[in-house]
Structure 1
Amino acid sequence: MSRFLDFYNQEEVMRFVGNGNYDWSETQLLEKIVKFSTCDLFTIHAIILKETSDIIGEFSVFDSFNTNKKVEIGYILNSKYWGSGYAKELIKKAILIIKSEFEVESIIANINQRNKASIAICEKLDFKCIDNQFINNNTRFTYII
């Protein structure tokens, strides 16, 4: 759990996640994992660096629409690994797995307007921006593929 807390407690990492909280306890993190892990599809996965077996982030699939045909995804990556191409490769492979193994038709990513890196990844992977909303004093873009 401490390896998750390494990035959950980085302000620069968490500033675009939820309400921006970057002061997480192990108990809070476990509660989040239990809350969002309801089946093989809807769960929080550790992102593990193959070469070192280090946990460098998380990838989540959320049941935001009460259907297996349309899901929401999100990821958090330790800032030490930003700019490495890991996030793009992760999302690319996750799309293939989610659509083929779980027969999901639509994948949604909700992204804070200031998170330029995640927006760029979605656009490179052919996600389309379909909506924007003002939430928590920020605009959130909704992308779909």
Structure 2
Amino acid sequence: MLRFKTARLNIRNVEESDFDALLRIYNRKKNMQYVSDGNYRWAKKELVAKYRKFNQHIKDGYGIFAVELKDTNQIIGEAGLFNSFDDLSVLELGYIIDSAFWQQGYGTEICQALIDYAFSTLKTEQLIARMYAANHASVLVSEKCGMKRVKNGFASDGQEFLEYAIKC
């Protein structure tokens, strides 16, 4: 099911046939260096289990979606809205893009589309984005999309993290 489009991308529900492409993305160290624990050694069954867990409420409009190029239908990553705060008026956004597609504006396109979708379709009141401070690209994307830094601290692994927010 198509959730929303951007100028160059389709963001849609993940299908069984997407897992091989997503697994290749998840198993590249560079792609995963700023994602939670940085794990880049995924088995397909682990990835499927992750998607099942986070997509339990996909019918409600939030979860992890596939990101594909409109022109070729190639999967280049994922985009997600998460109920991290047990309050559907506040969702967390996140995305992973294959490094072959970095520095081409896709992060900004995805982030802005998630913001628009969450506010207009899901009627979310606030979105949060959390990232490691060393992830300069995501910091810039958050700021380009109108998000403001609201918090910083240190994760359990000792790395500095930042939290950005935007309200409807």
Q: What's the TM-score once normalised by structure 1's chain length? A: 0.97
For 1:95 and 1:82, how far apart are their aligned partners in 2? Answer: 20
The one of 95, 110, 134 equivalent to 1:90 is 110
Partner of 1:138: 159
Quote the residue 1:76 is aligned against.
Answer: 96
TM-fit CA distance, 1:93: 1.5
Q: Does structure 1 residue 49 correspond to structure 2 residue 69?
A: yes
Q: Aligned ranges for residues 57-136 of structure 1 at < 5 Å?
A: 57-135=77-155, 136=157
1:74-109 CA distance string (max 9 Å, x none)? 100000100111110111112111101111010000
Return the match for 2:55 from 13, 37, 42. Answer: 37
Q: How big is each residue's C-alpha offset from its partner over 1:10-67, in whole Å with a ceiling of 9 and x where there is no partner?
A: 1111010010000001011011101111223331100011011011000011111111
How many matched pairs? 145
Percentage of identical aligned residues: 34
**Structure 1 stretches (4+) deviating beyond 2 angstroms?**
none
Distance across 1 between alignment mates of 2:82 and 2:145:
20
Distance of 1:43 and 1:54 partners within structure 2:
20
CA contact (8 A) 2:154 2:161 kept: yes
Contact 2:81 2:114 in 1 (8 A): no
TM-score scaled by length of structure 2? 0.84
